[in-house]
């Protein structure tokens, strides 16, 4: 392959001049640990806020769902009371309204006897 000029290499790219002076750059390098701690703490706080917001939304949705289920249960109970009122109090779903009898029929289909010798 033919050697490429330096401008065509991927490793080379123009970089803008730094916005920091040499003194400011040295100060940043010297205090990097302090800045890192501060920014990590800020990241942790933002993450906690995000998690709290997600949890609050989950709690709100759960509460909304529970209210919906309770409302539907109340409506079903009201419809059942109206249904029983139409039947003069007879409840077809109440097991105590029925007499349950169990009948067992045994029937011998075939019988064989064998003599076994010792």
The pLDDT profile of the chain, 118 residues, written as one tens digit per residue, is 677 776 666 666 677 888 999 999 999 999 999 999 999 999 999 999 999 999 999 999 999 999 999 999 999 999 999 998 998 888 888 888 888 899 999 999 999 988 888 8
Dist. CA 90–CA 97, nearest whole Å: 8
> Residue 55 has what pLDDT?
98
Return the number of other C-beta atoms located less than 10 Å from residue 102's C-beta.
Answer: 4
- Whether the model pTM is above 0.85: no
- Hey, what's the torsion of the CAs at 9, 11, 12, 16, to 10 degrees? 150
Angle between helices 32-86 and 22-30 (to 10 degrees): 60
Q: What token pair was written down for 3?
A: 């050697």
CA distance 16 to 21: 13
Question: Number of C-alpha atoms within 13 angstroms, CB side, residue 52?
Answer: 6
Quick one: CA dihedral 93, 96, 99, 100, positive or negative? positive
């Amino acid at each position: 392959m033919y050697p490429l000029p330096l401008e065509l290499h991927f490793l080379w790219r123009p970089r803008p001049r730094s916005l920091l002076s040499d003194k400011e750059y040295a100060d940043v390098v010297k205090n990097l640990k302090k800045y890192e701690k501060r920014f990590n703490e800020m990241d942790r706080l933002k993450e906690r806020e995000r998690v709290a917001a997600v949890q609050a939304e989950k709690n709100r949705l759960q509460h909304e769902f529970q209210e919906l289920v309770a409302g539907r249960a109340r409506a079903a109970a009201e419809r059942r009371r109206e249904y029983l009122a139409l039947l003069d109090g007879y409840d077809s779903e109440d097991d105590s309204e029925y007499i349950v009898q169990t009948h067992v029929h045994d029937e011998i289909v075939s019988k064989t006897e064998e003599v076994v010798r010792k």
